[in-house]
Amino acid sequence: MSAEQSPTISADLIAALVPWLEDAYPEEGCGLVLEKKGEIPRFLGCDNVIDRYHELDPEAYPRTAKDFYMIDPREFMKAEDRGESVSAIVHSHPDTGDYFSDSDLEAALMPRDDVDDPVEPIYPGADYLVVSVCEGRAKEASLYRFDEEKARFSRVDKWDEPRLAQALNRRAAQPETVS
């Protein structure tokens, strides 16, 4: 994807994912925005499995869910088996901003052995949505996309607090359907 493409996170997706991330507070919440041809994209809330890895090997995984996230790699394989593609990887930053941190960048890029190796995203075509959750409430969100020309992630959309509230209020105002 190039940075010129339009943002991919709709108000309905924001309304679906914000409660999941707020419920994860004070830890980082995470999930995936999945797409399937001919269908509306959907949010899949995922468990943050970093604490399991930390417990097994704290030296290799020194961080915990308080300040890091890890989505079970099997979630990506299951999505592929269902014919879905990952259009965005979502996570929250508890009690801090919606910036794309150095840790986020490191987790989003293929490892490089040499500075001359190309900078490549692990999930080509997937955006990253970072949501700031302060005191249990979503405050702002930013969507980041890999810019191939600049070889870095750039912000392509920003959801400030009023815009987040508008998406959440719109969803709350919609009548529930009973099946």
Residue 126's alpha-carbon distances to 38, 87, 109, 142, in angstroms, are: 18, 5, 11, 14
Q: What is the pLDDT of residues 38-74, one digit of tens each?
A: 999 999 999 999 999 999 999 999 999 999 999 999 9
The domain limits of the chain are: 11-173
Among the residue ranges 11-15, 46-50, 114-118, the one predicted with the least confidence is 114-118
Determine which of 3-12, 13-22, 23-32, 106-115 has the lowest per-residue pLDDT on average: 3-12
φ, ψ for residue 173 (rounded to 5)? -80, -15
Q: Report pLDDT for 8.
A: 72
pLDDT of residue 7: 65
174 pLDDT above the threshold of 70: no
Task: Report the predicted TM-score, pTM, of the whole model to 2 decimal places.
Answer: 0.91
Other beta carbons within 10 Å of 145: 23
Which CATH homologous superfamily contains domain 11-173? Answer: Cytidine Deaminase, domain 2 (3.40.140.10)
**Residue 6: per-residue pLDDT:** 60
Mean pLDDT of the chain: 92
Cβ-based burial of 119 (10 A; exposed 0-12, middle 13-18, buried ≥19): middle
pLDDT digits (tens, 9 = 90+) for 75-103: 999 999 999 999 999 999 999 999 999 99
Q: How confident is the model at residue 179 (pLDDT cuts 50, 70, 90)?
A: very low
In the chain, which residue ranges form alpha helices assigned H by DSSP? Answer: 11-24, 50-56, 73-81, 102-108, 161-173
Average pLDDT over residues 118-145: 96
Judge whether 144 and 98 are in contact, CB under 8 Å.
no
